[in-house]
Structure 1
Amino acid sequence: MAELTQPAQILRMKQLVARLSISKSSIYDRLNPRSPRHDSAFPKPIKIGSATAFLAHEVDEYISFKTQNSRSAHK
C-alpha cells in the first residue's frame, strides 16, 4: 500500500513577510545575487501561475539554520 504524504504547504509573499518579520524588499535583496545582502541559503521561490510562493518546510529549515548559526556564533 502506498504511503500517504502531507501536501507541501505553500507560503505566499505576504505570509513569508509575516513569518520572517522582514520586508518584501529585504526578501528580494536576499534572493538577488547582485545584492550585497544576497543570502545563498535563502529559500528559492517557486512560481504558481503568475504568483511567487515559497515552500513552508524550506522556510522552516532556513529559520532553523539561521538560529543555529546565530547561537553558535555567540558562544
Structure 2
Amino acid sequence: MSQNLIRLPEVQRRTGYSKAWIYRLISQNRFPRSVKIGIRAIAFIESEIDEWITQRITESRGEAA
C-alpha cells in the first residue's frame, strides 16, 4: 500500500471538490483526515484518497462494497 503524501491541490484535482467542501466532509468524518507535516502544512495519504475515490465509484454504480 502506498504511503505517499499528496498536498491539498492534488486532492482537489483528483476529487473535483473545493477546499471548503473537502474540509466539510472531513468534519463530518466522510473523507480521509489530513496529516500534519509542518507548522502550517498538511497532506493526505495517497492510498486513502485513492480508496475513497474507488468507494465513491463503486457506490455510484450500485455495486456491493
Give TM-score, length-normalised by structure 1.
0.73
- The runs of 5 or more residues in structure 2 that have no matched partner are none
Give distance in 1, aligned partners of 2:48 and 2:26. Answer: 14
Residue 44 of structure 2 corresponds to residue 49 of structure 1 = no
Larger Rg: 1
What's the CA shift string for 1:25-73, capped at 9, x where partnerless?
00011011xxxxx3x3411111101211100100000001111111117
| CA contact 2:2–2:46 (8 Å) conserved in 1 | no
Give TM-score, length-normalised by structure 2.
0.82
Cα distance change of structure 1 residues 62 and 44 upon mapping to structure 2, 3 Å threshold: same
Q: Paired residues, what number?
A: 62
Cross-structure match for 1:19:
14
Identity across aligned pairs (percent)? Answer: 32
- The runs of 5 or more residues in structure 1 that have no matched partner are 1-5, 33-37
Q: CA deviation at 1:7?
A: 6.3
Which of 10, 20, 31 lines up with 2:5 in the alignment? 10
Runs of 4+ in structure 1 deviating by more than 3 angstroms, as ranges, are none
Give distance in 2, aligned partners of 1:69 and 1:17. Answer: 20
Using CA pairs below 8 Å that are at least 6 residues apart, which structure has the higher relative contact order?
2
